[in-house]
Amino acid sequence: MKPFLTASAISLMFLTAGTGAEITSDDDLPWSFRPLSRPEVDAEAFGSWPRDDLDFFIARKLAEKGLRPSQEADRRTLIRRAAFDLTGLPPTLEETKQFLRDPASDELAFAKVVDAYLASPRFGERWGRHWLDVARYADSVGRTWNAPFVYAWRYRDWVIESLNEDQP
């Protein structure tokens, strides 16, 4: 037995109830209420540059604006980006030399570098900072009378350890 109302019709009822808005077709619906559809992708856009499905959408938008993708970064640039993004620190000279000498493909060698930075304690320190900012963490009152919170470090360390241990 077919349902009396489609999902789109039900969405229309909820969206227009009491608002006076007129929605006459699926095109007028917000994207979150539209039926799922597989968009068309130009598989030939920019030759071999797109590596996965998401890249095809980026390529389409670039083509619409008359732009081309940037050249791929060299290994020295890649390790600097990864180090600053994941740890907030520049890569050490040893890390850079090891990455530049790695005989593996760029993709595999970069994956090793990213894994090493994710396993680093500096990763939790860098990204824990954002959580601590949101929680308004402080070691002390910080006013004219600077009273310390004696055990505040326990919460700070717990946040850092949680990120490093990949706890949800």
Query: Is 3 a residue whose pLDDT tops 60?
Result: no
As to burial, measured by CB atoms within 10 angstroms (0-12 exposed, 13-18 middle, 19+ buried), residue 75 is: middle
CA 136 to chain centre: 23
Report the percentage of the chain scoring pLDDT > 70. 82
Across 18-22, 53-57, 89-93, 108-112, least confident range: 18-22
pLDDT of residue 11: 66
* Predicted TM-score (pTM) of this structure: 0.67
Tokens of 1: 């037995």
Closest CA to 90 of 133, 122, 130: 122
pLDDT of residue 8: 66
From CA 101, how far away is CA 89, in angstroms rounded?
21
SS3 153: helix
* Residue 148 main-chain phi, psi, to 5 deg: -80, 150
Q: Please, what is the average pLDDT of the chain?
A: 84
Query: Is 87 a residue whose pLDDT tops 60?
Result: yes
